Amino acid sequence: MSANVLEKDELRLGVIPLVDAAPLIVARDRGFFAKQGLEVEVSVESSWASVRDKVATGLLDGAQMLAPMPLAATLGIDGIGVPMVTAMTLNLNGNSIAVSESLYRELQLREREPLSAGRALKGLLLRDRIIGRRQRAFAHVFPFSTHHYVLRYWLAACGIDPDRDVRLEVIPPPLMVQHLSDGRIDGFCVGAPWGAAAEAAGVGYRVVNTFQIWNNAPEKVLGVTRAWAAAHPRTHRALIAALVDACRWLDMPGNRAEGAQILIDSGAVDAPPATIRTALEVPSAGDSFFGTGLVFHRHAANFPWLSHAMWFVEQMRRWGQIDTAIDAADIAAQVYRPQVCREAAAMVGVPCPQTDHKSEGMHAGIWALRLPSGLLTMGPDAFFDGAVYGTDGVPAEVS
């Protein structure tokens, strides 16, 4: 077979009804897939478990996945145990923590900020125990998700034990608002537009944006099975190249409104169009709640940092999902494929970092990464509690 011929040019990719499915929809509808010789069907799935199962069984060639999902699959802790890989992050940010209207009134918050919101919640939970009130329930989208780990991180850093002081549940994103409205949960951590949709419906309020907890945290990735990647290396690179191109387009000034309309017209996200448009807007400078908003390409957003993978593995270890003897560096290197990303990005003229790791939490503002071609502007990666995690994913001593 010629070195330029794709092993497979007709693909079926899965997405979940979220605003950050935009890169796949845009790549299909604006011709970025076609530019790389690919014909792609995008399948809207009902849950992350459905995405995992269909990729594992070959019903989908690949999918939008939660960043920790390929790690959990490779570790064999997701109930399926089919090794998966990712060579691309699709976006940073985009999640929020919302609470019911009644809980919001009880919290009496003066500002939407992680520490003050966490302290108010801790005091309320203490009062609940004293008066014998039922345990509060908070939902997230999947056991192996940025939502789950960042929600736990926030609670724990505010002195709330996620395993004892609250009850955590898994609910698919499109069902979050209804569960909040019905009183089955007291709050949730979910991606856009569902936090805004709760506010639009008058049933809840966003109290923390996860950007405030971890600036520019990785959110979704493009995942395929390890076997699929090995059998289709040229197709895999073409797929990543097309999505990098689509992400770059989405982050170009003036394209977000068109991107929102493409997403609305696709019908992939059954939410009020206004909430979809708002979620894709780039916040004005100085917005302390939304930070930089959804980032699809800027700040090397598409690069699959091994340090991100290792942070997730360490969170799995912290919360008892994996054995303490697991080698985080080995798992990260098996699953996250930065060199494939470099090769694919080069196909569309996008420079990538030349190192596979960076410290997480070290940068509270804009900083620069040196490349052979010059400097690459990077975004903040700070944690709200001031912690810094080294390239091994564990807390680092900072002088």
Report the candidate in 379, 53, 72, 82 with the shortest Cα–Cα distance to residue 216: 379
Backbone φ, ψ for residue 265 (5° rounding) = -65, -30
**Quick one: pLDDT at residue 399?**
43
Under-70 pLDDT residues of the chain: 1-3, 284-286, 397-399
**Quick one: pLDDT at residue 334?**
98
Write down the pTM of the prediction: 0.95
Beta bridge partners of 96: 190, 209
**Quick one: pLDDT at residue 393?**
76
Contact 44, 15 (CB under 8 A): yes
Give the largest Cα separation in the chain, rounded. 72
**Quick one: pLDDT at residue 392?**
76
DSSP per residue, 302-340: T---HHHHHHHHHHHHHTTSS-TT--HHHHHHHHB-HHH
Other beta carbons within 10 angstroms of residue 125's beta carbon come to: 19
Each residue's pLDDT tens digit, 381-397: 999 999 999 877 788 86
Report the candidate in 222, 214, 190 with the shortest Cα–Cα distance to residue 204: 190
**Quick one: pLDDT at residue 286?**
62
